[in-house]
Structure 1
Amino acid sequence: MFDLALSICCSSIIFVIFKLYAVYKIDTLYAIITNYVVACSVAILFYSGDINPYQIGQKPWFLGTLLLGFLFILVFNLIAKTSQSIGVSVASVATKMSLVIPVVFGVLMYNEELGMLKILGIILALAAVYFASIKEKQITIKKSALILPILVFLGSGIIDTSIKYVQEV
């Protein structure tokens, strides 16, 4: 239970951190790249197996992971921009509801069964993204910023789908 609570807390706090980047004038791209370097360094430090950098590029998963790395940087930037310009709740809902995309992909590509419960879930997820994007308070949001939650939704869904696909290839 503790692990679940910690996971929820960490996956939620990232949206607040992205919002704070704007407050403290931290360049989001540099922060994300720095995080990648630190995470990679820690992984290499704690990995107990042998690492041969010359063979990594020859592995069948290499191109897929490069694409995923690029997508993560792109989507993290979109999440940051959404959190900063529209709000943390909008970015969070768009990210969480993107689970619709892997479900639809599973139905189309792996012939998974699509029951009424899944259809209802997809409709409710799409409605949640829409309604979370609407603000009750009168705040000024540029119309061009309204595309951001849609891009976050699509990007997060594509990442989740790609992870499953790359694991199976």
Structure 2
Amino acid sequence: MRFPLALCLGLVALATASQSPLQRRVVKEVLEYFHSRSNVQFFFKEQAVEGAVEREDPSGTFVQLRVSLVQTACGKRAPRRQNCRTLENRRKPTCLACYKFDSSDVPKVLDKYQNCGPSHHLAVKEIKHRDEAECRAVEEAGKSVDVLYLPGMYAFSKGLPA
């Protein structure tokens, strides 16, 4: 019994080591978001991170992750969460997270979208389309709008008082 547990913990550690700092930050924020929901009574741990996307552009960095969670035997307000054993055949929700960070030294969140539910819930066609649209909108956050000026057009701007 100890070997499968050690193997599982080793795989989680390996996955965590391969994540970028922004991806680890998103996973942390997703767990905080999930545990803040009133219908969540137990503590959940990250089981796997799938479909990690990280793209940079002049407006910042876009991160998209699908985080699989697993329920533990501890209540969500338990003081010692490190020793919580996972429960097999219990709730295993999946969260989709899309975040856009600015390009500063300490990246600030420009926009974000999170959706957590049962793993089959996020596969429903309508929800999947909504998630894709929301993530595209998050990725566009912070990008400037290009204005096209054609001959004969005039642009006016109101300056700030001196």
TM-score tier by shorter-chain length is: under 0.3
Higher gyration radius (CA):
2
Q: By percentage of residues, which structure has more helix?
A: 1
TM-score by structure 2 length? 0.24
- Calculate the TM-score normalised by the size of structure 1: 0.23
Higher relative contact order (CA 8 A, sep 6+): 1
Q: Comparing both structures, which one devotes a greater share of its residues to strand? A: 2
